[in-house]
Structure 1
């Protein structure tokens, strides 16, 4: 029994009263290896499934964006998108619960990287306040005055009249960005570089000044996309007027 105990594990069957038996160590090692391999394989399978699911999601968004641009948000349907994707509407709804949710996700993804860079530049210690606001203004106009963002803006304006898509989009993107701009302006107010006012309203004033010269005209196709020189000049004028109104005299 001592030899058996060293070469394996003794088990007792108390219920049946049968004799003890020894499971060899090699058998235990084999069982452990099989279980470990199965767990590892299962983990790899789950990772592959997650990767495929994300690839499918991205494919749906890319195709849906084409449909929205071609026919507009209101005329587009989940059936149209599903047909072009090559699957059923049920599959589509497994990824996106509504057309509105799909549209908002497309818009947010299109602007996410640019918005991160845009509002991430509003940091203390990165130049003077005027330099920071000028840099922000130019990046903001470069972002909103592109063919893609103007097309999405037109779709959003149209769709907002018949659904809550405008509220969804604003909460997920622009509102967060405006909060970051307001926070920076509040810090400037606390340092005495700007007059003490409501920073949220101040942020809206700056945004309005930046948009006022050309965003509406570009949205309505009255003007062509601005050149870098035009963007720089518009940003300079907007920041200059803003500072005249908010800097202490």
Structure 2
């Protein structure tokens, strides 16, 4: 069952920004906007190595779907204007990468990742362009920040896979469904830890009995809080699930809330790119 079937109302609205590709003048005259689902980009993406970590992988996949890429024609080759424009674009991306070197490591993993989201957009776009050029046997020049790219790329992966949460003290009750919440949050890439957390998780699940069809009904709420208990992302939901008993229904509801809050966190980070 998909989360969209049950989660009807979000406490924090998410603004999804589609990044625009700034094209060199010569290129702008010859191409139109495309996306990752269009050829040849859909073929190129399959040549890139797979990422490790649930949250890191989901974040990068979501970002790639938001990229606006040039429409590549059938006449694409090393002598074409499109190839020259892509090479110029790589040089621009390389130059821009320098500004992300000084993101402090003394702040939380989440805050570091938030500030590095523009760098992640830069890296993912550059990887796709370079892969397309290599696929077409076009030489990719070694640029000033070519060694910086893998360093930042690895750092972003470590940050995305390293975010953790703790539970707000007032919700640490003997709830039978809490283990399911912790397991579900780990499943979606943001696990519980007793170490210094990136987030404090606050939640509740209010049982409302069963409807005429026998489905279990709940009002649910889940939030990730940052410094000074400021809400980063939050979800409020009217939940309806099929289950053989209340305990099973509570467990299913916890997984739905965990899936929803981690998706909201992904969307929030994408607005920072």
TM-score, with structure 1 as normaliser: 0.30
Which of the two has greater strand per residue?
2
TM-score, with structure 2 as normaliser: 0.28
